Amino acid sequence: MTETAAPEIILEALAVIDQALPTMQHRALVSTDEVADLLLDLRLLLATVPEPIAAAGV
């Protein structure tokens, strides 16, 4: 991955949040399965962020 991959992945994670929030805000109850799915989607996106180059050389 390139150094620009991290900001792109963060933008994707923000897009996932932006899609889920309107749905969840208008409901009195949100199932734990839906919340878990959202958190897993975010985790998968953020887990692909590469280590900073400075830390990788240490």
d(C-alpha 25, C-alpha 29), whole Å: 9
For residue 58, tell me if it sits in a domain: no
For residue 33, tell me if it sits in a domain: yes
Domain containing 10 equals: 5-52
For residue 29, tell me if it sits in a domain: yes
Domains in the chain: how many in total?
1
3-state helix, strand, coil in the chain (%, to 5): 70, 0, 30
Amino acid identity, position 57: G
| pLDDT (tens place) for every residue of the chain, 58 residues total | 455 667 888 888 899 999 998 988 888 898 999 899 999 989 888 887 666 655 555 5
pLDDT at 51: 66
Reported pTM: 0.62
d(C-alpha 49, C-alpha 16), whole Å: 16
pLDDT at 57: 56
> Cβ atoms within 10 A of the Cβ of 33, count?
8
